[in-house]
Structure 1
């Protein structure tokens, strides 16, 4: 139906549907205080179109979660028996009465079946409507909000739905989501025109007992290359196959484009066998891969993720929609929730890469709990289907998005302005493997490595023994009141995160951040999947129950360094798991022997 006719059809549509009047039975569904840094500006134009998403409760998610843990637990008889897309969709499909009630409500506002789109399981209903209609439906007032960094969003801080729909609607967005979804590379360490990596230094090799042949080239203390990583993580000499069905992918957002010419320069410098090979590009929600505008984040993720795992087939997901949003005639739709577009897309695909790396996130408290929980549940669906998801832990230590610990503002967003550590999301989701950062050879924790404890998600049982041991060793009163001791703890693992040599705009460039660590770890996971598939075994899927069960085996424990923030020195890296480097960095050779 044409939305210009909706306004005149509202009364007729409402009278034809036997549901309580949406104007007389509304009750607040969600209300928040705007996150720090956001200022309300103008009223949003009523004719501005927004992509409204309505989440219906997933009928059997607890059963899906049970399946996820069973197929991910190496001690369980179902280990590796991943679910199909159809099996997952059946478990999360909403109840028919939820679908019927929500559609009746929409019809009362002149929105009918032909106007809607649905997720494969039917647990999301999506429709594009004018702001004016959304305000009437939700008893909300949308404004243009501006962040101190210049980003703008069209949002409301409160919305309502009819009383009888509260049990049938989990959340509606875009409403209260103020997340900015940043890349996890440091802005303070991006140096172009660094010398290529062709020659090693004259300094003697560094003795590292866990490394390949017990040594790492001395140049790796100044410049990290694919060769450095394979030496350090004991993978020299392992060559995967290209035709086993194994696949790796990285995600790109916010107009971050991966450049093919830069990739060839990187391969020529660091992975000569990969020259003239490339990766597949999959566009999500109109995402582009503009070769005239290469992105440092995208180049980093593709060059190292795919350089480590070559010749395993590789994909770059480029997802459209990015802030800043400027409501003008050239931008008629507010489309700056790209991450949800990507999740919707991948869940709709019958066949998925076994390993997917993402280097984006934001402070957990900028994401409404209902939204964070729903996105996290989507990751559980992917894990149940045999996908390993790696996420960067963040580049702000225990603090907020400011990479400088001295200028961080670590305040709660509940109106009380309590000083507290600020965990990151999606790093805090218990269904992903979160990767912190290290530096130097031998390795130590790097100062910006994000880590801590979720305020949203409870500590999962797979990590409770290691986390409780860490907390028990803390001096009494350490950071009292600054973090949630019972929350999901992260990171789970770590990898090098400084002095990575990539190629950007045709030039060698030095880059840092846990954006380096996540695709690095994912590249080695893809090699592990290669070994398992060649042995007739399923892919690893959701990693965390496995790696925590190994009790340190297959990992290099990092015991020095810390992650300052919020006016504190942050947590210390120490023996065993810690909220700076997790379980440590992987020893590929040892870990392969444990899982194949």
Structure 2
């Protein structure tokens, strides 16, 4: 299907990548390109010239060149400002686009025939917005617009070809323009317009849309809840034994932990009680504190795994917040979550991507207003979903990654699962020699946001068959493989340079050039936790579940306990942890994993080796050592 989509794209778009609708006055330059479209999408026809596009122009933000420096200043253990996190107001003011950028882009639009009354600056000052026709957008951007359709879902999306262009003097003031090349969004239609049916985007919580979905080997006949059987079934006591995790919370009124789910993935209350009844009797009847973001509601799926383990590990006295994101009609993207967490991120109609759902939903879903900046972010937030880097454009990923850095500046620890397909992308997809998706490709396919240098990426380990819970774990190689590798988009952050270069100098596999990025890029995961043989209550039955989807909430629970201990003695939460965990002071705070690989793309992937590796990161948490090390910091 990938090959067919690519051939159809080439036939329909033909000269799109080389034809520039040149202005006789203003020379243009390519601003963003994409060589392939995500799996399942194909262009069906040219968009009608009078169709209305909600054109949104993301302005270049100020001071982004200093973003890592600012973040290290509050996150590196040797910094005198460690823990002095920023206020949301300071974040918004520091990165607000300049008046010059606003003036330059607005001037270009007006000079191109877009009436000044049609051009608006959104409340955060980050986007210029204007409703334009397809014909106007094609002239502005030097491109052609098509209607794309997803072969499996029938969803439709409006987008341009392989490239769009901006005037030379405007391009430096713009990060990205939507709708153009980004398939993390959907098209809205006007009443009586050319799209006959309501067109919705592929929901991040839907099967096949990009989540790191946990895998199962089926229903469990007999449940073991003894340490002697942790090689067969992981239960909360196994997790506690593996990571020496015993802690009584002391500052629950100050502390907070959040689990993110995307509708239609949610939980069944009776499954929680079934799980608690077997493994944490005092929590029967306990529920997470629901924050419904743009119509999110509780049902079932991924959330059963995340919540059962996060809640049982932090214990009855520590509330767990569920960020249920998106309604069942519109769905949601990562931007919908970011909208709610940080009001400065919101735009005129929706998130960093202004094609995100409009509320009230005209199609029968959530009827309230867009929820912008409604949430004080939890100190630790775990998300078990991802896309692959190739599915989104670099400009889109870089803009979103910067938002995670801003949350880090405010003291939030963001965890993301690293993926379940080793060095391959979701579903086992790889890349060909041109960087395009190909099931038979031999180049590795990094994940996103796992490859963003401003989140903490969590890989997966396992208790080896026949081993004791006290024996060293290995990289997960049952049912799933720990996601890991090297980004094709993001440069290597300074905090991991020494650890990654050590791995590459001593243990790098001898693969052909182009198999993975060796040009000094962000490497992941950062750490790991068990991801195999979890006992989970799903739809009234216990099943064995596998995935980094388990590793991330388990790690979140352990880090939340560290925050509790620090808050109890008057210290700040740990915030963005990567500069700290890669530092010399934390060298012995992890259980080093030295066995296993993460195969994919016709290779054995990478190998787990002493020190950091692109399979299990720095290793698994050793809670007493982590706690002691963090309590020594300011």
TM-score by length of 1: 0.82
Q: Which residue of 1 aligns with 2:281?
A: 272
Cα drift, residue 124 of structure 1: 3.4
Cα drift, residue 110 of structure 1: 4.3
Partners of 1:320 and 1:540 lie apart in 2 by: 29
Partners of 1:127 and 1:554 lie apart in 2 by: 52
Q: Which residue of 2 aligns with 1:428?
A: 451
Q: Check conservation: 1:116, 1:127, Cα contact below 8 A.
A: no
Partners of 1:195 and 1:131 lie apart in 2 by: 58
Q: Which residue of 2 aligns with 1:9?
A: none
Count of paired positions: 536
Partners of 1:321 and 1:22 lie apart in 2 by: 43
Partners of 2:135 and 2:283 lie apart in 1 by: 53
Partners of 1:32 and 1:336 lie apart in 2 by: 25
Asked if 1:376 is matched to 2:401, the reply is: yes
Q: Check conservation: 1:288, 1:319, Cα contact below 8 A.
A: yes
Partners of 1:148 and 1:519 lie apart in 2 by: 33
Q: Which residue of 1 aligns with 2:501?
A: 468
SS of the aligned residue for 1:390 comes to strand
Q: Check conservation: 2:251, 2:567, Cα contact below 8 A.
A: no
Q: Which residue of 1 aligns with 2:414?
A: 389
Partners of 2:442 and 2:553 lie apart in 1 by: 33
SS of the aligned residue for 1:118 comes to coil
Which of residues 514, 519, 528 is equivalent to 1:481? Answer: 514
Q: Check conservation: 1:247, 1:355, Cα contact below 8 A.
A: yes
Partners of 1:162 and 1:547 lie apart in 2 by: 44
Cα drift, residue 250 of structure 1: 1.7
Which of residues 222, 228, 243 is equivalent to 2:238? Answer: 228
Pick closer, same or farther for the CA change 1:57–1:116 going to 2, 3 Å. closer
Which of residues 495, 508, 523 is equivalent to 2:542? Answer: 508
Between 1:580-589 and 1:154-163, the stretch displaced more is 154-163
Pick closer, same or farther for the CA change 1:146–1:559 going to 2, 3 Å. farther
Partners of 2:286 and 2:331 lie apart in 1 by: 33
Pick closer, same or farther for the CA change 1:77–1:557 going to 2, 3 Å. same
Partners of 2:337 and 2:56 lie apart in 1 by: 14
Cα drift, residue 589 of structure 1: 1.5
Cα drift, residue 269 of structure 1: 2.5
Q: Which residue of 1 aligns with 2:582?
A: 548
SS of the aligned residue for 1:453 comes to strand
Gaps in structure 1 of 5+ consecutive residues: 1-20, 202-216, 323-330
Cα drift, residue 243 of structure 1: 3.6
SS of the aligned residue for 1:538 comes to coil
Q: Check conservation: 1:267, 1:274, Cα contact below 8 A.
A: yes
Partners of 2:120 and 2:493 lie apart in 1 by: 40
Partners of 1:413 and 1:144 lie apart in 2 by: 25
Q: Which residue of 2 aligns with 1:341?
A: 336
Asked if 1:360 is matched to 2:385, the reply is: yes
Q: Check conservation: 2:118, 2:130, Cα contact below 8 A.
A: no
Pick closer, same or farther for the CA change 1:194–1:151 going to 2, 3 Å. farther
Partners of 1:428 and 1:410 lie apart in 2 by: 16
What is the CA deviation profile of residues 538-567 of structure 1, one whole-angstrom value per residue up to 9, with x for unaligned ones? 000001111011353111011111011111
What is the CA deviation profile of residues 494-519 of structure 1, one whole-angstrom value per residue up to 9, with x for unaligned ones? 01111222222222232211111111
SS of the aligned residue for 2:386 comes to strand
Q: Which residue of 2 aligns with 1:557?
A: 592
Q: Which residue of 1 aligns with 2:475?
A: 445
Cα drift, residue 106 of structure 1: 5.3
Partners of 1:47 and 1:503 lie apart in 2 by: 52
Partners of 1:272 and 1:248 lie apart in 2 by: 21
Q: Which residue of 2 aligns with 1:579?
A: 614
Partners of 2:34 and 2:331 lie apart in 1 by: 19
Cα drift, residue 192 of structure 1: 4.7
SS of the aligned residue for 1:378 comes to helix
Partners of 2:432 and 2:240 lie apart in 1 by: 41
Q: Which residue of 2 aligns with 1:155?
A: 159
SS of the aligned residue for 1:510 comes to strand
Partners of 1:591 and 1:416 lie apart in 2 by: 40
Partners of 1:149 and 1:482 lie apart in 2 by: 30
SS of the aligned residue for 2:174 comes to coil
Cα drift, residue 223 of structure 1: 1.6
Cα drift, residue 235 of structure 1: 1.2
What is the CA deviation profile of residues 64-98 of structure 1, one whole-angstrom value per residue up to 9, with x for unaligned ones? 43221011111111111111111111110110122
Cα drift, residue 420 of structure 1: 1.6
Which of residues 291, 315, 319 is equivalent to 1:313? Answer: 319
What is the CA deviation profile of residues 382-423 of structure 1, one whole-angstrom value per residue up to 9, with x for unaligned ones? 1011000111111111113224xxxx4432555798842111
SS of the aligned residue for 2:400 comes to helix
Q: Which residue of 1 aligns with 2:368?
A: none
Which of residues 272, 290, 294 is equivalent to 1:281? Answer: 290
Asked if 1:301 is matched to 2:333, the reply is: no
Pick closer, same or farther for the CA change 1:504–1:411 going to 2, 3 Å. same
Asked if 1:33 is matched to 2:66, the reply is: no
Between 1:105-114 and 1:238-247, the stretch displaced more is 105-114
SS of the aligned residue for 1:170 comes to strand
Partners of 2:304 and 2:147 lie apart in 1 by: 33
SS of the aligned residue for 1:282 comes to strand
What is the CA deviation profile of residues 350-378 of structure 1, one whole-angstrom value per residue up to 9, with x for unaligned ones? 73211111111122122211111111111
Pick closer, same or farther for the CA change 1:539–1:77 going to 2, 3 Å. same
Q: Check conservation: 2:262, 2:332, Cα contact below 8 A.
A: no
Pick closer, same or farther for the CA change 1:104–1:421 going to 2, 3 Å. same
Pick closer, same or farther for the CA change 1:479–1:80 going to 2, 3 Å. farther
Partners of 1:174 and 1:303 lie apart in 2 by: 39
Q: Which residue of 2 aligns with 1:174?
A: 179
TM-score by length of 2: 0.78
Cα drift, residue 50 of structure 1: 5.8
Pick closer, same or farther for the CA change 1:34–1:565 going to 2, 3 Å. same
Q: Superposed, which structure 2 residues align to 1:4-23 within 5 Å?
A: none
Partners of 1:127 and 1:253 lie apart in 2 by: 29
Cα drift, residue 34 of structure 1: 2.1
Between 1:162-171 and 1:540-549, the stretch displaced more is 162-171
